[in-house]
Amino acid sequence: MSAAKSIAGQSWRGGVQDMHRALPEEVPVAIVFNGTTQAVMMATPDSLDAFGIGFALTEGTVTTADEIESLEVIEHDQGFEVRMWIADAAAKRMEDRRRSMIGPVGCGLCGIDSLEQAMRKLTTVNINKTLTYSEVNAATEALRQHQPLHDQTRAVHAAGFWCDGIVAVTEDVGRHNALDKLIGTLVQRGIDPATGAIVLTSRVSVDMVQKTVIAGAPILIAVSAPTVQAVEIADAANLTIAALARGDGFDVFTHPERIIPDEV
């Protein structure tokens, strides 16, 4: 299945005319560990192997990718299954963080059955990585040049990784899915998240901060604003948030010491 499909319709702009527009696919993707479905997410059907790896890491099911003993993506008539077999220790942790319902694309915490699990404590990001003012401005501008599915459909989010330029980008109808895919892609390509910044086309919510901290990235750059809770969690975890970054400036909400002036 492709990530997008051309759909017929009518365009009402200065008159009415028939048109075709590419729209993103949105299908159920079951995340399965050791034969048990942990979650069913509505997602764009590409990079699903990376999605599985990133989801397993950011949900705390595995602490390292080495705990994933095997992974396969299986297409069914109704959707896809990302089937993973994980180590015994990881399987036990999975029971402590259960998900059992469909996660809508707008929410990365849907289905968690405990408030404590939703607002889980995070480790502290102890990384001295810095970016210049110009690099932060350039990051979101560069991300816009690496969004083919968005250019085609105007209906998906992107997550990118900046390290002296954009080196990886993933897209999905769900912003948290895009970030999980990115984290999985970095694992697959052997790129250390500590060496750069995660860049988002979306707002910064609690789950996006949690996933970034768990991945080990020290800086999160976004085109939209953070929530109050996201700022509080990022501040406690020593994560730098630079938001409302649209090429002409940005706001830094936490740990501004990682953003430095350009050399004169």
Domain boundaries, the chain: 27-118, 131-260
DSSP-assigned beta bridge partners for residue 234? none
Catalytic residue among 73, 91, 107, 225: 107
- Residue 67 has a pLDDT of 98
Per-residue pLDDT, 101: 41
Q: Residue 105's pLDDT is what? A: 60
The verdict on whether 163 is a catalytic residue reads no
The reply to whether 131-260 shares the fold of 27-118 is no
Res 14: pLDDT: 77
Between CA 172 and CA 105 the distance in angstroms is 9
Answer whether 69's CB lies under 8 Å from 197's CB.
no
Q: Which CATH code is given to the segment(s) 131-260? A: 3.40.140.10
Q: What is the pLDDT of residue 130?
A: 97
Range 115-120, long-range pairs (CB < 8 A, 24+ positions): 118/206, 119/206, 119/233, 120/60, 120/210
pTM, entire model: 0.89
Query: What pLDDT was estimated at residue 65?
Result: 96
How far apart CA 52 and CA 228 sit, in angstroms, is 29
Whether CATH 3.20.20.70 fits 27-118: no
Residue 206 near residue 229 (C-beta atoms within 8 A): yes
Residue 216, pLDDT score: 97
Residue type, 194: A
Cβ atoms of 182 and 126 closer than 8 Å: no
**pLDDT tens digits, 161-179:** 999 999 999 999 999 999 9
pLDDT digits (tens, 9 = 90+) for 36-84: 998 999 999 999 999 999 999 998 999 999 999 999 999 998 899 999 9
Extract the residue ranges of the chain whose pLDDT is less than 70.
Answer: 97-119, 264
Tokens of 182: 């990115």
- What pLDDT shows up at residue 111? 61
